[in-house]
Amino acid sequence: MQDISKRFVEVFGANPEVVAAAPGRVNLIGEHIDYSDGFVLPFAISDTTTVALSRRQDQVIRIASAQKSTEIVETTLAELIPLTGESWARYALGVLWVMKIDTGVDLLIDGRVPLGAGLSSSAALECSIATAVNHLFKKGLSLAELARASQKAENDYVGVPCGIMDQSVSLMAKSGSALLLDCRDLSSENIPFLIAPQGLELLIIDTQAHHKLVDGGYAERRASCERAVAELGITSLRDISVADYAARQSELDPVTYIRGFHAVTEMKRVLDAVDALKANNFSRLGDLLNQSHRSLRDDYTVSCPELNLAVDTALEQGALGARMVGGGFGGSAIALIKSDQVKRCETAIQKAFSDAGFKAPRFFTSLPSDGARVISN
């Protein structure tokens, strides 16, 4: 962390008062069910965003990022207005706004979470700043309150309608664990996810595909789930078993039925994955990842050729399980794989992508890591 402090001195002319870091995340299982009151099971990756922060005597805010060369964004407390500007610094400004700081600050960011790869560099940024501000301004906020504040910054200041999963896990994660998060009441539980002792790793494959054409797909899928709830007269897809849902198939049109079927089966898969983790049963976990992918591909239809190729190739190379993660239509896939097979798997996926004429993918590996922390002050 000397690094960021040294750079802070170069940029702002004095030592920072506090340095804090927060990680990106991957959702192990539980996709497209946060908006149906479901459970999700993300874990923090080892890559973090680190920030250095100092208070100023005046109302000026200065922000620089190692990922944005030498640009310094300068504004004032009075100019913290939601939904203004297009600058990358909006994510940081949003956190300062929501946490109601009462003096100006100098803020330096160094993000090691790849931007826009579906690993939530935005939450890592928000949560590292929220952690630093909470410490320096003695706000005394709990981790749940910091998660809500970070989400509010992204929702209301930046204007991105994200859920609360990313911020919760970036703040609350524990090394060697995944975080079971109940999207209904935001309660959470750390579930042991000890892959390292088994010689396993999570390979993250960023397909670099972004199929903009089908962006409307998210709203459409969500509307289908809401229609299923309304037509079945239930409170949420959380409140019906797979068997009861299947028994009422004739009450729904085929598309609505199959979308809801993904949601109810995915909710069950998350709870089954928790049981598998508690039993250290990684082949069972792999099966559940595969089932999740098939459900997203065939029932929810949010996958794409690049994601399917990444998943299929990883399985051919010996992965215990693999699935697309995130909203779909591009972004990343994960594969649970033996550490000594990772390189071979990467090479095979690279070749398959090149043969198919796809853009070259990017690879990251990760073990479940700790959430946000204050590093020094």
For the annotated catalytic residues, the residue numbers are 166
Residue 371 interaction partner, one of Mg ion, ligand ADP, none, beta carbon < 5-8 Å per kind: none
**Could you say which residues in the range 98-137 bind ligand ADP, by CB under 6 A?**
109, 111, 115-122, 125
109 binds, among ligand ADP, Mg ion, none (CB under 5 to 8 A by kind): ligand ADP
Closest CB to ligand ADP among residues 260, 326: 326
Residue type for 341, please?
A: Q
* CA atoms of 89 and 91, how far apart (whole Å): 5
**Site residue total, ligand ADP (CB under 6 A):** 17
CB-based contacts of 203, cutoff 8 Å, min separation 6: 314, 319, 334, 335, 337, 342, 345, 346, 363, 364, 365
Closest CA to 127 of 153, 89, 157, 160: 153
245 or 329: CB nearest ligand ADP: 329
Within residues 192-231, the interface with ligand ADP by CB under 6 A covers none
46's tokens: 């080892």
CA separation, residue 67 to residues 3, 72, 350 (Å): 14, 12, 26
Number of residues counted as binding Mg ion (CB under 5 A): 2
Residues within window 44-103 making contact with ligand ADP, judged by CB under 6 A: 49, 65, 67-68, 88, 91
Residue 341 has what DSSP assignment?
G
- Rounded CA gap, 175 and 234, in Å? 38
CB of 203 to ligand ADP, least distance (A): 18
Q: Residue 114 or 318: which CB sits closer to ligand ADP?
A: 114
Least distance in Å: CB of 52 to ligand ADP?
13
Residue with the CB atom nearest ligand ADP in the bound state: 111
User: Stretches 112-120, 227-235, 251-259, 269-277: which one binds Mg ion (CB under 5 A)?
Assistant: 112-120
Q: Cβ of 119: how many Cβ atoms within 10 Å?
A: 26
Residue 277's binding partner among ligand ADP, Mg ion, none (Cβ under 5 to 8 angstroms by kind) is none
Distance CA 150, CA 168 (A): 9
Task: Note whether 207 binds Mg ion by CB under 5 A.
Answer: no
Answer for which of 49, 54, 122, 151 binds Mg ion (CB under 5 A) is 122
DSSP notation for 47-77: EEEEEEEEE-SSSEEEEEEGGGTT-EEEEEG
Torsion of CA 299, 301, 302, 304, to 10 degrees: 130
Residues that bind Mg ion (CB under 5 A): 120, 122
**Site residues for ligand ADP per CB under 6 A:** 49, 65, 67-68, 88, 91, 109, 111, 115-122, 125
